[in-house]
Amino acid sequence: MTAITAAALALPGTGVGVVTARDLKPFRVPLAIPPVMSPVRRERNRDIYEVTMRKATAEILPGKRTRTWTFDGSFPGPTIEATRGREIVIRRRNALRVPTTTHLHGGEVPWRSDGHPGLAIAPGQTYEYVYPNQQEAATLWYHDHLCKHTSKNNYMGLAGLYIIRDEAEEELNLPRGRYDIPLVLQDRRFHSDGSFAFKDKVDDVLGDVYLVNGRPMPFLKVANRKYRFRILNASHSRGYRLTLDSGEPLIQIGSDQGLLAAPTPGADIPLWPAERAEVVIDFSKYPVGSRIVLQDAGDAIDPTAARPLMRFEVNREEDDTSSLPPVLRQIEKLLPLPGVVEREFVLRKNATGKWVINGKPFDAQRIDISPKLGDTEVWTFNNQSSVTHPMHIHLVRFQVLDRSNLQVSPTEMGWKDTVRVDPSARVRVIMRFDGFTGRYMYHCHNLAHEDHSMMGQMRVTGRSEMETTAVGGYVGSTATPALPYRCDIRR
């Protein structure tokens, strides 16, 4: 299997040279909306899906075909829409020549369905993931998480959106239907023949071509009314600073784990890998014929002049029955009371050039920490390097307590699962462990750092009533996945 994987991962482009953003004219292709996946069967309290991970080709650059690795042939992957309280079972079949594993990012799921980097589906095999969907409405996403090859597998296309809806959010009368639009931000490098120009790096994997929903700098025709945009930074290393070229503020209504307490206007929205931001843009402020550009105003990795991501073209008038209420939801405030468990995680590069946490590279056979169900913990991420680390914790959502270098932004006052840790800065987050026991990860979501090898592993202990009711008889019932690399964990 290792030999097959090594051969499959060696995918040099056949073209000469690379395509850069200067070679492409912006706003020439329409925005594509990822398809919504349909279940193959609906049961009384669950929906069953079947998904095949396979090769495909896509016209990403105009007139060129790009070979991709996909979920059911879609780049990015199809959107899965879930309802709170209704379980989803996904049977994933691996038709690729490489092992894969799929993580539901932001999902509160049993650990054998979490996409542990050492729990792989071998080529030709199938595995079932169970998602209970007991959490509040939120924009999540799913992506490959294979040990040492997360960066490559995601670059080739193994990522997509997972949206949980609930009644409380539906009652708010926010823009919905065709006015509720996902925007998946990615950057890529291309050879001149259209193939991906991926290079495995320890520090950063940065692309020159900006993609939104798999299209380079597209346009979207909109009516003069309110729209809701669910924005995901699915890039490997790039942080964005989102602004409108009109100078109007972006109204943020949600972050990683769902709605904020109230709509929050801001001149810009920083968004680092794996973070999500939900925004409402009211195009009624603009006359028909207006063109408004969503742009990246630069970041610490690439502090260049603003670059366009996509353009909105107001081309018609429509009635708008949606609303933007002053209160979106109540958010329980977690407090660092006496007796709370406190942990510190030092982020830096070691003498051998690996990215490490508390001086240790990732080892799937080592348990780094053991939180207990019901406990509240405060984690301090101490960045002793000169680059930003977007830190992600599996299983739990958290709140940002404070930063050593800046005030906590109002847009970070909601529930999060990924947090930006600036160079030479500390960030404290607080969380409560609920739901499930088992092995879960915490790691940098710069995928180059994750693969090389800024990850830790925790074993959550305690008694979980949720787990016994959610996973019985489903997980792993169709196959026993293979165990590649050094990251193997017995299922």
Element (H, E) at 233: strand 226-233
Residue given tokens 């996509």 in the structure block: 310
pLDDT value, residue 414: 95
* Under 8 Å between Cβ of 247 and 232: no
Report how far apart, in Å, the C-alpha atoms of 63 and of each of 34, 66, 365 are.
Answer: 20, 10, 47
Can you spell out the DSSP letters for 238-264? --EEEEETT-PPEEEEEETTEEEEEEE
φ and ψ at 321, to 5 degrees? -100, 0
Rounded Cα distance between 10 and 489, Å, is: 26
pLDDT value, residue 486: 53
Laid out side by side, the sheet with 240-244 consists of 219-223, 307-316, 291-296, 240-244, 269-271
β-sheet bridge partners, residue 41 = 48
Q: Give all strands (DSSP E) within 358-397, no chain letters.
A: 376-383, 389-393
pLDDT value, residue 464: 62
Q: Is 87 helix (H, G, I), strand (E, B) or coil?
A: strand
φ and ψ at 55, to 5 degrees? -75, 150
Which CATH number applies to 177-316? 2.60.40.420
pLDDT value, residue 2: 42
pLDDT value, residue 465: 55
Q: Is 22 helix (H, G, I), strand (E, B) or coil?
A: helix
Residue given tokens 């594509």 in the structure block: 32
- The CATH architecture of the domain made up of 2-169 is Sandwich (2.60)
For the chain, the distance separating the N- and C-terminal CA atoms, rounded to the nearest angstrom, is 18
Rounded Cα distance between 8 and 363, Å, is: 24
**Four-residue CA torsion sign, 276, 136, 336, 262:** positive
491 residues of the chain, pLDDT tens digit each? 344 344 333 343 444 578 888 889 999 999 999 999 999 999 999 999 999 999 999 999 999 999 999 999 999 999 999 999 999 999 999 999 999 999 999 999 999 999 999 889 999 999 999 999 999 999 999 999 999 999 999 999 999 999 999 999 999 999 999 999 999 999 999 999 999 999 999 999 999 999 999 999 999 999 999 999 999 999 999 999 999 999 999 999 999 999 999 999 999 999 999 999 999 999 999 999 999 999 999 754 554 578 999 999 999 999 999 999 999 999 999 999 998 999 999 999 999 999 999 999 999 889 999 999 999 999 999 999 999 999 999 999 999 999 999 999 999 999 999 999 999 999 999 999 998 999 999 999 999 999 999 999 999 999 765 554 443 333 333 444 444 445 655 44
Rounded Cα distance between 303 and 268, Å, is: 15
pLDDT value, residue 298: 77
Q: Where in the chain is the domain with CATH 2.60.40.420?
A: 2-169, 177-316, 341-470
**Four-residue CA torsion sign, 427, 161, 234, 241:** negative
CATH of 341-470, one of 3.40.1170.60, 2.60.40.420, 3.40.190.10, 3.40.50.1820: 2.60.40.420
pLDDT value, residue 10: 38
pLDDT value, residue 488: 57
β-sheet bridge partners, residue 108 = none
pLDDT value, residue 9: 38
- Residue in 204, 162, 186, 200 with CA at minimum distance from that of residue 310: 186
Chain centroid, CA 210 distance in Å: 17
